[in-house]
C-alpha cells in the first residue's frame, strides 16, 4: 500500500470509521458488516468497501470485519497509538473554544502550548495550557519538538506566522483563517473556512428547496 495512492476523500473518512469501531468495541461487538457501518455513519456501503480496499483484504466474504482488528488497524494508520502535541497560535474566541474542546474524540492529540500577543492572557494557564508570547513561538516549538500547529489568529498576520512555523520545524498546519497561505513543499496546510462552509450549506439548502 502506498500512502499517496489513497484518495483524500477516503483519508477524511478514516477518523469516522475509527471512532465508530471504537464505539462498537467498547460495546463488546466482535464483528460488523459494511451495511451495518453504512447505516450507522451514513456513508454508503459501496464507498466503505472501496475505501477499505485501498488497504488490502480487511474482511472476509460472508463474515464481515473483525471489529477489534479493524479498530487497531485504523488506529495505527492514524497514529492514535502515539501522542501528538499540537501548538495553538491565537487565543481569541475560536482559539479559546479549541482549548476547551480537548479533542475528546482522540486520546492521542493534545494541545500542549498556545501563543498570543495579548498581555492579559500571555503568561497564564488557560484550561491547563500555557500561553506564551508570540515572540517565543519558534523557540518553544523547537524545544517541545512540535510538528503540528493550529492557526486561529487574524488573517493579516497568518502568512508571517506560517513562515516562522515552517522555520521552526512545523510540518502540518490547520488553518482556521480566511487567508490563502503558502508554505514549503514539506509543510501541509489544511484550511477550514467556516464562512465558506456555511455559504455552501446555504446554497445547497436553497438549491434543494427550489427543486422540490
Q: Which residues does the annotation place in the binding site?
A: 90-95
Residue 82: CB atoms within 10 A of its CB come to 8
Q: In which element (H, E) is residue 134 found? A: none
Q: Which residues are annotated as a binding site for NAD(+)?
A: 90-95
Helices (H) and strands (E) in the chain, counts: 8, 9
Q: How far is CA 77 from CA 80, 96, 139, in A?
A: 8, 29, 30
Ranges of beta strands (E only) in the chain are: 31-32, 65-66, 84-89, 109-116, 125-126, 129-133, 148-151, 172-175, 188-191
DSSP assignment of 68-104, as one string?
HHHHHHHHHHTTTTS-EEEEEE--SHHHHHHHHHTTT
- Closest listed residue to residue 102, CA positions, set 129, 124, 77: 129
* CA–CA gap between residue 199 and residue 179 (Å, rounded): 17
Amino acid at each position: 500500500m502506498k500512502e499517496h495512492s489513497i484518495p483524500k476523500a477516503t483519508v477524511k473518512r478514516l477518523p469516522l470509521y475509527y471512532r465508530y469501531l471504537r464505539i462498537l468495541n467498547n460495546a463488546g461487538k466482535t464483528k460488523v458488516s459494511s451495511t451495518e457501518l453504512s447505516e450507522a455513519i451514513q456513508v454508503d456501503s459501496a464507498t466503505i468497501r472501496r475505501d477499505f480496499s485501498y488497504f488490502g483484504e480487511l474482511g472476509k466474504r460472508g463474515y464481515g470485519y473483525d471489529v477489534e482488528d479493524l479498530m487497531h488497524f485504523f488506529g495505527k494508520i492514524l497514529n492514535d497509538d502515539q501522542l501528538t502535541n499540537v501548538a495553538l497560535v491565537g487565543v481569541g474566541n475560536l482559539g479559546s473554544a479549541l482549548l476547551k474542546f480537548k479533542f475528546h474524540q482522540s486520546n492521542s492529540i493534545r494541545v500542549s502550548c498556545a501563543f498570543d500577543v495579548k498581555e492579559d492572557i500571555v503568561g497564564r494557564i488557560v484550561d491547563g495550557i500555557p500561553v506564551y508570547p508570540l515572540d517565543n513561538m519558534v523557540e518553544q516549538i523547537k524545544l517541545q519538538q512540535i510538528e503540528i500547529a493550529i492557526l486561529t489568529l487574524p488573517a493579516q498576520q497568518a502568512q508571517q506566522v506560517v513562515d516562522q512555523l515552517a522555520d521552526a520545524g512545523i510540518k502540518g498546519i490547520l488553518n482556521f483563517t480566511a487567508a490563502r497561505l503558502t508554505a514549503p513543499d514539506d509543510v501541509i496546510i489544511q484550511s477550514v473556512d467556516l464562512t465558506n462552509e456555511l455559504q455552501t450549506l446555504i446554497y445547497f439548502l436553497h438549491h434543494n428547496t427550489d427543486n422540490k
